[in-house]
Structure 1
Amino acid sequence: MTLKEKQDRILVLFEHLTSLTKHQLPEDQRDPRLHDLGHLHRGELFSCFHKEHLEEATHLYETLYKAKNFDDFIHLCEEARQIVNEGMFVYAASVAVLHRDDCKGLAVPPIQEIFPDRFIPAETITQAMKDDHHRKEHEDLVVDIEETGNILNPEQRLAYFREDIEVNAHHWHWHLVFPATWRPEVMGKVKDRKGELFYYMHQQMCARYDCDRMSVGLQRMIPFQNFEETLEGYSAHLTSLVSGLHYASRPEGLHIRDLNDVSLQEMERWRERILEGINLGHVHDDHGKEVELDEEHGIDILGALIESSHESKNEEYYGSLHNWGHVMLARVHDHDGRFHENPGVMSDTSTSLRDPIFYRYHRFIDNMFQEYKASLHHYTKTELTFPEISISHVTIKAKVPNIIHTFMATDELELSHGIHLDGSTKVKYHHLNHEAFSYEIQVENHSDTVKHGTFRVFLAPKYDELGNRLILNEQRRLFIELDKFHHGIHKGHNTIVRNSTESSVTVSKIHTFNELKAGVGVDEKNTEYCSCGWPQHMLVPRGNEKGMDFQLFVMVTDWEGDHVNGEPSLICADAVSYCGARDHKYPDKKPMGFPFDRPIDARTPSQFATPNMSFTDIRIQFSH
Structure 2
Amino acid sequence: MKLVQVLLVAALCAFASSSEVPIAKIQKDVLLLLAHINQPPMYPQWTKTMETYNVSLHASEYSKPEVVHQYELYESYGFLPKGEIFSVMYQPHLNQSIILFELFYYAKTYEAFYNTAVWARYHFNEGVFLYAYSLAVVHRPDMQDVILPPIYEIYPYYFYNVEVIQQAFKLKQMHNPQHPISAYDQNHGYTVFTNYSGHYLNLHPEQSLSYYLEDVGINAFYYYYNLYYPFWMSSKEYGFAAVNRGEEYFVLYSQLIAKYYMERLSNGFGEIQYLNWDLPIETPYYPSLEYPNGLEFPYRPPFVKLQEYYYNYGQTWSWKSNYGYSYNLIQDWERRISDAIDYGVLNVHGQKINLYDSDALNILGNLIEGNPDSPNSEFYGMIWLYARHLLGYSYQPLDKYHIAPSALEHFETSLRDPVFYQLYKKIILLFYKYLYKLPFYSYDDLVFPGVEVVGVEIDKLVTYDDYFYSDISNVVYDTKDELLQDSFHIRVAQTRLNHKPFNYKITVKSEKAVQSVVKVFIAPIYDEYNRYINMTYNFMNMVLLDYFVYDLKAGQNPITRNSYDSQLYGKDPLSYHEIYQQMLSAESGKGSWSADQYYWYFPHRYMLPQGTPSGLPFQFYVAVYPYVPEKTEGSSSSRGFESFFYPIVNGKQFIDSYPLLYPFDKPIVYEKFWHGIPNFYSYETKVYHVEDVNVVH
Q: TM-score, normalised by structure 2?
A: 0.82
State the Cα distance separating 1:501 from its structure 2 match: 1.6
Q: In structure 2, how many angstroms separate the alpha carbons of the residues matched to 1:245 and 1:13?
A: 25
Q: Deviations over 1:79-102 (max 9, x none)?
A: 222333322221211111112122
Name the aligned partner's letter for residue 251 of structure 1: P
Secondary structure in 2 matching 1:553: strand
Question: 188-197 or 216-225: which moved more?
Answer: 188-197
Secondary structure in 1 matching 2:582: coil
State the Cα distance separating 1:320 from its structure 2 match: 1.2
Q: Deviations over 1:520-541 (max 9, x none)?
A: 69877647x9433200101110
1:511-530 matches, cutoff 5 A:
511-519=574-582, 526=595, 530=598
State whether residues 284 and 291 of structure 1, in contact with CA within 8 Å, keep that contact through their aligned partners in structure 2: yes
Partner of 2:61: none
* Equivalent of residue 54 in structure 1, options 94, 98, 105: 94
Q: In structure 2, how many angstroms separate the alpha carbons of the residues matched to 1:97 and 1:377?
A: 42
State the Cα distance separating 1:28 from its structure 2 match: 9.9
Name the aligned partner's letter for residue 395 of structure 2: D
Q: Deviations over 1:196-219 (max 9, x none)?
A: 111111110111001000101111
Partner of 1:426: 491
CA pair 414-336 structure 1, distance change in 2 beyond 3 A: closer
* Equivalent of residue 246 in structure 2, options 195, 215, 220: 195
Find out whether 1:334 has 2:395 as its counterpart. yes
Q: In structure 1, how many angstroms separate the alpha carbons of the residues matched to 2:90 and 2:429?
A: 23
Unaligned ranges ≥5, structure 1: none
Q: In structure 2, how many angstroms separate the alpha carbons of the residues matched to 1:424 and 1:381?
A: 60
Question: 30-39 or 589-598: which moved more?
Answer: 30-39
Partner of 2:303: 253
1:264-283 matches, cutoff 5 A:
264-283=327-346
Q: In structure 1, how many angstroms separate the alpha carbons of the residues matched to 2:429 and 2:636?
A: 36
Q: In structure 1, how many angstroms separate the alpha carbons of the residues matched to 2:99 and 2:394?
A: 30
State whether residues 517 and 624 of structure 2, in contact with CA within 8 Å, keep that contact through their aligned partners in structure 1: yes
Larger radius of gyration: 2
Partner of 2:135: 95
Partner of 2:552: 489
CA pair 430-515 structure 1, distance change in 2 beyond 3 A: same
CA pair 585-535 structure 1, distance change in 2 beyond 3 A: closer
1:350-499 matches, cutoff 5 A:
350-396=412-458, 401=459, 403-421=460-478, 423-447=488-512, 450-499=513-562
CA pair 433-585 structure 1, distance change in 2 beyond 3 A: closer
Secondary structure in 1 matching 2:412: coil
* Equivalent of residue 291 in structure 2, options 234, 240, 244: 240
Q: In structure 1, how many angstroms separate the alpha carbons of the residues matched to 2:239 and 2:262?
A: 40
Q: In structure 2, how many angstroms separate the alpha carbons of the residues matched to 1:93 and 1:499?
A: 38
Find out whether 1:591 has 2:659 as its counterpart. yes
Question: 317-326 or 149-158: which moved more?
Answer: 149-158
State whether residues 19 and 419 of structure 1, in contact with CA within 8 Å, keep that contact through their aligned partners in structure 2: no
Partner of 1:345: 407
State whether residues 346 and 358 of structure 1, in contact with CA within 8 Å, keep that contact through their aligned partners in structure 2: yes
State whether residues 46 and 348 of structure 1, in contact with CA within 8 Å, keep that contact through their aligned partners in structure 2: no
Secondary structure in 2 matching 1:187: coil
Name the aligned partner's letter for residue 27 of structure 2: Q
State the Cα distance separating 1:468 from its structure 2 match: 1.0
Q: In structure 1, how many angstroms separate the alpha carbons of the residues matched to 2:451 and 2:550?
A: 13
Q: Deviations over 1:334-370 (max 9, x none)?
A: 2464996622100000101000010100101111111
State the Cα distance separating 1:476 from its structure 2 match: 1.4
CA pair 125-246 structure 1, distance change in 2 beyond 3 A: same
Partner of 1:552: 620
State the Cα distance separating 1:116 from its structure 2 match: 0.5
Find out whether 1:12 has 2:32 as its counterpart. yes
Partner of 1:145: 194
CA pair 27-143 structure 1, distance change in 2 beyond 3 A: closer
Q: Deviations over 1:110-138 (max 9, x none)?
A: 11011001111111110121122222436
Secondary structure in 2 matching 1:18: coil
Q: In structure 2, how many angstroms separate the alpha carbons of the residues matched to 1:151 and 1:178?
A: 34
Q: In structure 2, how many angstroms separate the alpha carbons of the residues matched to 1:94 and 1:211?
A: 33
State the Cα distance separating 1:170 from its structure 2 match: 0.3
Unaligned ranges ≥5, structure 2: 1-20, 42-48, 57-67, 316-320, 483-487, 587-591, 692-697
Secondary structure in 1 matching 2:85: coil
Secondary structure in 1 matching 2:431: helix
CA pair 514-251 structure 1, distance change in 2 beyond 3 A: same
* Equivalent of residue 284 in structure 1, options 331, 347, 354: 347
* Equivalent of residue 176 in structure 1, options 204, 210, 227: 227
Q: Deviations over 1:354-409 (max 9, x none)?
A: 0001010010111111111111111111111111111111112xxxx3x2000011
Q: In structure 2, how many angstroms separate the alpha carbons of the residues matched to 1:373 and 1:437?
A: 35
Partner of 1:119: 159
Question: 537-546 or 93-102: which moved more?
Answer: 93-102
Secondary structure in 1 matching 2:452: strand
State the Cα distance separating 1:146 from its structure 2 match: 4.4
CA pair 269-64 structure 1, distance change in 2 beyond 3 A: same
State the Cα distance separating 1:61 from its structure 2 match: 1.8
Secondary structure in 2 matching 1:186: coil
Secondary structure in 1 matching 2:237: helix
Q: Deviations over 1:54-78 (max 9, x none)?
A: 3332232222111111111111111
Q: In structure 2, how many angstroms separate the alpha carbons of the residues matched to 1:429 and 1:224?
A: 32
CA pair 619-532 structure 1, distance change in 2 beyond 3 A: same
State whether residues 601 and 650 of structure 2, in contact with CA within 8 Å, keep that contact through their aligned partners in structure 1: no
State the Cα distance separating 1:43 from its structure 2 match: 3.2
Q: In structure 1, how many angstroms separate the alpha carbons of the residues matched to 2:242 and 2:197?
A: 38
State whether residues 200 and 578 of structure 1, in contact with CA within 8 Å, keep that contact through their aligned partners in structure 2: no
Name the aligned partner's letter for residue 302 of structure 1: L
The number of equivalent residue pairs is 607
State whether residues 563 and 587 of structure 1, in contact with CA within 8 Å, keep that contact through their aligned partners in structure 2: yes
- Percent identity (aligned): 26
Question: 405-414 or 495-504: which moved more?
Answer: 495-504
Q: TM-score, normalised by structure 1?
A: 0.91
Q: In structure 1, how many angstroms separate the alpha carbons of the residues matched to 2:645 and 2:571?
A: 12
Q: In structure 2, how many angstroms separate the alpha carbons of the residues matched to 1:477 and 1:160?
A: 24
Name the aligned partner's letter for residue 4 of structure 1: A
* Equivalent of residue 217 in structure 2, options 166, 172, 176: 166
Q: In structure 2, how many angstroms separate the alpha carbons of the residues matched to 1:471 and 1:99?
A: 43
Question: 338-347 or 115-124: which moved more?
Answer: 338-347
- Cα RMSD (Å) of the superposition? 2.8
Q: In structure 1, how many angstroms separate the alpha carbons of the residues matched to 2:195 and 2:146?
A: 34
Secondary structure in 1 matching 2:160: coil
Q: In structure 1, how many angstroms separate the alpha carbons of the residues matched to 2:437 and 2:414?
A: 31
Q: Deviations over 1:300-340 (max 9, x none)?
A: 1111111111111111111111222223323x242464996
Q: In structure 2, how many angstroms separate the alpha carbons of the residues matched to 1:188 and 1:576?
A: 13
Name the aligned partner's letter for residue 431 of structure 2: F
Question: 433-442 or 515-524: which moved more?
Answer: 515-524
State the Cα distance separating 1:609 from its structure 2 match: 4.1
Name the aligned partner's letter for residue 412 of structure 2: S
Q: In structure 1, how many angstroms separate the alpha carbons of the residues matched to 2:33 and 2:328?
A: 42
Secondary structure in 1 matching 2:473: coil
Find out whether 1:133 has 2:157 as its counterpart. no
Name the aligned partner's letter for residue 236 of structure 1: P
Secondary structure in 2 matching 1:417: helix
Q: In structure 2, how many angstroms separate the alpha carbons of the residues matched to 1:608 and 1:409?
A: 38
Q: In structure 1, how many angstroms separate the alpha carbons of the residues matched to 2:634 and 2:516?
A: 12
Partner of 2:270: 219
State the Cα distance separating 1:438 from its structure 2 match: 2.4
Question: 289-298 or 454-463: which moved more?
Answer: 289-298
Partner of 2:647: 578
